[in-house]
């Protein structure tokens, strides 16, 4: 129950504007894990309503993270040796959430986890979002008023993200 109190404190800080992005990512990934675990418990028990899961950021959570990354074939590609060792250390040491610094360190790693566990389309849209925003601002300043809508167009963001992704791969090969 320590984790729940800690997350409630984080949400209070969020309402005051003292919320870091790493803490937000940790909270989102942990909540996603709890929802999946709750559904799995309901299926295992044969119940319609899921029982209340234990709200602890335990080694089981980190095992789940590593398992999902390996299933997505991103564990060895996307993470540095230090990040992989940190995740393994969290599995074996059973960490307690008592430090904001620890939560931020986990949050940086879980930010990458969240990005790589998304689908291909979502990742390309995320990559192209900033480029679409810049292009729409420039074209709008040239006089095209319809260009304001471009920064909200998902297909345009996907296209730009795909171009960026493919050009990154070709430059990496050289």
Give the whole-number percent of the chain exceeding pLDDT 70. Answer: 60
Quote the mean pLDDT of the chain.
Answer: 75
Distance CA 79, CA 111 (A): 11
- Per-residue pLDDT reduced to its tens digit, 9-35: 655 665 555 556 666 666 677 676 667
Lowest model confidence (mean pLDDT) among 26-40, 87-101, 115-129: 26-40
Provide the pLDDT for residue 39.
65
3-state secondary structure of 80: coil
Report the predicted TM-score, pTM, of the whole model to 2 decimal places: 0.55
Distance of CA 151 to the CA centre of its chain: 22
**Residue 129: pLDDT over 80:** yes
Average pLDDT over residues 88-103: 74
**Residue 152: pLDDT over 50:** yes
Provide the pLDDT for residue 34.
67
Higher pLDDT among residues 162 and 7, named by residue: 162
Q: What residue ranges do the domains of the chain occupy?
A: 2-117, 121-173
Lowest model confidence (mean pLDDT) among 2-6, 99-103, 153-157: 2-6
Helix, strand, coil tally for the chain in percent (to 5): 80, 0, 20
| Contact call for residues 116 and 69 (beta carbons, < 8 A) | yes
For the record, the structure tokens of 158 come out as 């996907």
CA dihedral 74, 60, 56, 99 (to 10 degrees): -60
Higher pLDDT among residues 58 and 174, named by residue: 58
């Amino acid at each position: 129950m320590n984790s729940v109190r800690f997350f409630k404190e984080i949400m209070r800080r969020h309402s005051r504007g003292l919320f870091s992005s790493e803490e937000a990512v940790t909270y989102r990934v942990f909540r996603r894990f709890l929802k999946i675990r709750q559904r799995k418990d309901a299926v295992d028990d044969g119940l319609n309503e899921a029982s209340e899961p234990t709200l602890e950021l335990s080694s089981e959570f980190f095992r789940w993270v590593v398992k999902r990354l390996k299933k997505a074939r991103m564990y060895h590609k996307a993470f540095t040796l230090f990040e992989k060792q940190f995740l393994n250390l969290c599995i074996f040491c059973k960490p307690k959430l008592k430090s904001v610094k620890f939560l931020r360190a986990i949050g940086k790693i879980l930010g990458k986890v969240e990005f790589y566990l998304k689908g291909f389309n979502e990742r390309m849209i995320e990559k192209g979002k900033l480029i679409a925003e810049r292009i729409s601002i420039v074209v709008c300043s040239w006089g095209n008023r319809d260009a304001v809508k471009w920064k909200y167009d998902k297909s345009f963001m996907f296209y730009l993200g795909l171009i960026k992704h493919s050009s990154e791969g070709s430059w990496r090969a050289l």
